[in-house]
Amino acid sequence: MKLLILGGTRFLGRALVESAQARGHQITLFNRGQSNPGLFPEVEQLTGDRTVDLHFLEGRQWDGVIDTCGYEPAVVSRSASLLSGAVPLYAFISSISVYANVSQPGTDEHGPVETFPQGAEETLNEGNYGALKALCEQAAERAMPGRVLNIRPGLIVGEYDRSDRFTYWPWRINQGGEVLAPGRPPQPTQIIDVHDLADWTLRMVENSQTGIYNATGPHYALTMGDLLETCIQVSGSGARLTWLSEEFLLANGAQPWIEIPLWLPESDASTAGMNQIDIRKALNAGLTFRPLEETIRSTIAWANSRPADHEWRAGLSRARETELLNKARAGVS
């Protein structure tokens, strides 16, 4: 197949290119050339900003396009409209963040999505990511009705993940010693390895599949306890987990999700179902998962390859972790 990838040099885009190459596809990348510009020199690369340079794509034909970097509906609308005559299928990478209500487990693809305030500026910021992604989905479908594959991933993990939201745990546990673990071991969590998502996305494009699919994992009920214990097993570090209650953590100003990655307090009813999204439709469409051990092993190897002074975007500093553990031991609330 001849594939156009919008993006293609960061995280999921990178994994998509690698998987597409392994599957023998002919690839064209279109991006600004700012992230990893020397990557994939053997691949055709068109350099431009999709907000103003879409004319670079005019007059070309591909068998499919995968949009990995659509965040603003006006930009996605222009991209899909221009490409509507150039590709039979538009694969859009969205997010489970589009859902308006994840207070209950089992949200499926029919769940209502976030809406955007009337007249508000459609520019991405921290508070409107989900609503904008929902509008992007709708923009793509309007431009290419019935020809859009809309994939809603959960937390994508693995090497080259700049968010550090998963990487923190394998890396920290690999360091050994006493490790602060949040909440209760049975709390559910969901993740998807970037390579599993890339491989399945390409299979869906190859098979001309359209529609909306939640894409997270694994196929079984994963808990925080399972995840962290598997990190200990894979790392061989002998790390010791000390579980601190959410009451203690919240009382001491610990921040869920970023400061303590993957942790969502059970007392927050609005996010009770965030880590229990229904993925049966994707499973029925062939979504598969590598062993968790493999994801953890490759993440540790990549994390250890980064500079020692890497600035972490998520996770507890060692000083903050020690502070909280010492307070808990001393019985200080």
Distance CA 107, CA 292 (A): 23
Checking if the pLDDT of 234 tops 80, the result is: yes
The pLDDT-based confidence of 118 (bands split at 50, 70, 90) is: confident
Distance CA 153, CA 213 (A): 8
CB atoms within 10 A of CB 93: 25
Q: Which of 299, 173, 293, 295 is nearest to 241 (CA)?
A: 173
Q: What is the mean pLDDT of the chain?
A: 96
> Taking residues 59-81, what's their average pLDDT?
96
The pLDDT-based confidence of 120 (bands split at 50, 70, 90) is: low
pLDDT of 331: 85
72-102: pLDDT as tens digits: 999 999 999 999 999 999 999 999 999 999 9
Checking if the pLDDT of 9 tops 70, the result is: yes
Using alpha carbons, list the distances in angstroms from residue 216 to 179, 191, 222, 273, 283. 26, 6, 11, 13, 10
Least confident of 40-44, 114-118, 179-183: 114-118
Using alpha carbons, list the distances in angstroms from residue 213 to 105, 205, 282. 17, 13, 6
22-50: pLDDT as tens digits: 999 999 999 999 999 999 999 999 999 99
281-315: pLDDT as tens digits: 999 999 999 999 999 999 999 999 999 899 999 99
> Taking residues 149-158, what's their average pLDDT?
98
Distance CA 280, CA 283 (A): 5
pLDDT of 333: 64
Distance CA 329, CA 176 (A): 19
CATH architecture of 168-190+220-274+291-330: Alpha-Beta Complex (3.90)
> Taking residues 50-63, what's their average pLDDT?
94
Q: Cβ(170)–Cβ(234) under 8 Å?
A: yes
Share of the chain above pLDDT 90, in %: 94
Break the chain into its structural domains and give their ranges.
2-153, 168-190+220-274+291-330
Amino acid at residue number 121: E
Q: Cβ(151)–Cβ(96) under 8 Å?
A: no
Taking only Cα atoms into account, the Rg of the chain, rounded to an integer number of angstroms, comes to 21
For 2-153, which CATH class?
alpha beta
Checking if the pLDDT of 121 tops 90, the result is: no
CB atoms within 10 A of CB 311: 7
